[in-house]
A and B are shown apart, each in its own frame.
Chain A
Amino acid sequence: MTVQRHVAVMACVLAATALFTAFCHDQFLLSLAFTGLIFAVLGQSWNWISGYAGQVSFGHALFFGTGAYASALFATHHGSPWLALACGAAVAVVLALLVGFPCFALRGHYFSIATIAVAAIAEIVVVNTDALGKANGFELPILPPGLASLQFAGKAPYVLVALVLFAAAQIATVALEHSRTGYYLRAIRANQEAAASVGVDARAVKVTAFAGAAAFAALAGSLYAQQTLFVDAESTLGLSVSIAIALVGVVGGIGTVWGPPLGAFVYTFLARYVAALYGGHGRGFDLLLYGALILAIVSVQPEGIAGIARRFRART
């Protein structure tokens, strides 16, 4: 897609979401929209490293959790939530460099399993640390609503804040696609050895993308914590979160700008909403439905929903 077309789609999506937020009074639908946007950002940041660069990570929740815990810690110690956003992102970047540098020496499945191991270690450490609330997690204190506290009375303002982050992630992704780093990431995915033969320092490029992705995931984590006002290890660092992030990317289509948002939309609205109507959360119906959807997509169109759209466009 050309940049102009990305801008046009972006404008439509932003306008539609803003309108929806302005006129929808159903708090459940609004919270779904919030979750959808957070997952779109998470899926997109995962897409940088696992889609464009083809290094499949199953530990992306590490960075989401970093942001969530940063917000929780700042809030309980009377720090500014905006400072928490910045600190969470900074810590996530440092973590990404520390984790990425050794892990990107690994290829294929060895890398994927290393990401699981690193995230699991983080979860175990948090669950056993008193200052981080152990397995019980902790609640954020309720503050007077407003931009200063980044807490709001209804769900709608949260959706709008998440929408800003989402727009930033989309713009960053389009910029990435049209940058040297973006080309290098795709070349690495296609053939790392051949990429090195034209001067691509694969490890440095991957670590760079990883750090950027980590920052976005941490910002998403911070906003999530501000909205739920509760943080615990399993729901922010757990393997199931990492898997959900990866599947959002897969369902939508990896290595594309609009795949992860599509996947996030499907994940939240189709799987969660429909499941809530016909069975309720926790009974497994959402997983069943979502799993079936993934199976269908992967066996019919391995490039995800975005791939179906592309094929459809190519035909017309």
Chain B
Amino acid sequence: MDVGPLPQLIVSGILTGLLFALISVGLTLIFGVMDVVNFAHGEFLMLAMYATFGLGLIGLNPILALPVVVVAMFVLGALVYRFFVKRLLAGPPEAVVFGTFGLLVFLQGAAQFFFTSDYRSVLNPPFSGTLHLGGIAIGEAQLAAGLGALVLIAAIFGFVEYTEPGRALRALSEDRVAAQLMGIDVQRMNAFAFGLGIACTGAAGALLMLTYQAYPRIGTEFALTAFVVVALGGFGSVHGVLLGALLVGLVEVLGGYYIAPALKMLPVYALYLAVVFLRPQGLLGRR
């Protein structure tokens, strides 16, 4: 029986999904710990991609640039929390939504103003070949990005499950008041979680530069997918993110092939609506 391009598409869908998962896990971490949907998440990703491009100019390829970008984005995230998000949290509930939206507009405008709308790709891509494995052809760069994302997601899962600060994050997302009573410094943990969430976009941005180009509006495209992934899995659920991301990656790649490339997002949005109409809290979310 000829299975046609299906195995190829599934592999490609999973690799795409892993990258979505890495972006989305940052979003869900921030949401879980402080109930904030960071609408500027994609713009941080965009900044990370430009940073990776910039480090490429001084000779660092994206893989070598990754740790530098991750640290820089962590610091940036913690600072944004300390000087901006923290203030918003003290205001009415909509303030956070609108504030992070303002951040989106501001960062996108800044990128357009300072970097122009041109597409930028790294000058020295470390992977350019194609691997053939039993009839499946995968770009080495795509494989490296997907595997890199897998390793980093595993690291984040491990961190959240098995380390002391990870446990504190979980305690906060389960019951803020109790966590406070147990002596967890909420403000410090919030800043830490925001930094960590943004650091995830740093890692994802560096990996994305293996296959994508940076331009001011790229963040919005990925962020939209990330919101769907997070809501699909259930806001705040770390396992839900992985499930949602793989589903969305597969649906997008399969839809793009079997329906039409221009319609690839249609099944993704339809899937989201179908899921939340049946289960308003997402697949793995708690009510």
Contacts and interface: CB of A to CB of B under 8 A. Distances in A.
Given A105-B280, A247-B101, A250-B98, A287 B273 contact: no
Please indicate which of the listed interface residues B98, B108, B260, B270 has the most CB atoms of chain A within 10 Å of its own CB: B98
Given A56-B97, A287-B108, A290-B105, A110 B269 contact: no
Nearest to A122: B269
A288 interface: yes
B231 A250 contact: no
A102 B280 CA distance: 10
A128 interface: yes
**On chain B, which size bracket covers the interface?**
35 or more
Nearest to B234: A110
A291 interface: yes
B91 interface: yes
Interface stretch (B145-153, B188-196, B220-228): B220-228
Interface residues of A, number: 45
B88 A291 contact: no
Contact of B224 (A116, A247, A285): A116
Given A117-B272, A128-B260, A291 B84 contact: no
A295 B231 contact: no
Interface stretch (B44-52, B109-117, B127-135, B202-210): B109-117
B178 interface: no
Nearest to B259: A128
Q: Is the interface of B mostly helix, strand, loop or mixed?
A: helix
A128 B263 contact: yes
Contact of A284 (B88, B109, B220, B263): B109
B97 A279 contact: no
A303 B92 contact: yes
A124 B98 CA distance: 26
B109 A285 contact: yes
Interface in A99-120: 102, 105-107, 109-110, 112-114, 116-118, 120
A164 to B, nearest CB: 30
Given A110-B276, A291-B110, 9 more contacts: A54-B94, A239-B220, A243-B104, A250-B101, A287-B112, A288-B106, A298-B88, A298-B99, A303-B92
Nearest to B285: A110
A283 B37 contact: no
B102 A298 contact: yes
B13 to A, nearest CB: 19
B68 interface: no
Contact of B95 (A128, A282, A302): A302
A121 interface: yes
B231 A121 contact: no
Interface string B246-287: 000000000000001011011001101100110011100000
16 contacts: A105-B280, A106-B280, A109-B231, A110-B235, A112-B37, A125-B266, A128-B262, A246-B98, A247-B101, A250-B98, A250-B101, A291-B107, A291-B109, A295-B102, A298-B99, A302-B95
B98 to A, nearest CB: 4
Interface in B64-106: 84, 87-88, 91-92, 94-95, 97-99, 101-106
